[in-house]
Amino acid sequence: MINPAMTKIKLRVLPRSSKNEVVGKMDDGTLKIKLTAAPVDNAANEALIELLSDYFDKPKNKIKIVAGATSKNKVVEIPD
């Protein structure tokens, strides 16, 4: 079975913000994201996956957090 090509993206997540939004790229290429959810019981990660799904127009079940699940600095894989 051949896996589709995946892109890894570095993120800086700011939980407990006023709204869910992709702010933009930082100087080092990291994508900055604001989330209203608190980092409790995986709520912020779930909100992040949903936001990225809408932003990149990809199914939620194809987006995976591959590093930093409990950190503000994360790496996600998104199919090309």
The C-alpha atoms of residue 75 and residue 20 are separated, in whole angstroms, by: 18
At 62 the three-state DSSP class reads helix
Query: Whole-structure pTM over 0.85, yes or no?
Result: yes
CATH class of the 6-79 domain in this structure: alpha beta
The C-alpha atoms of residue 76 and residue 7 are separated, in whole angstroms, by: 8
The C-alpha atoms of residue 23 and residue 7 are separated, in whole angstroms, by: 19
Which tens digits make up the pLDDT trace of 17-71?
999 999 999 999 999 999 999 999 999 999 999 999 999 999 999 999 999 999 9
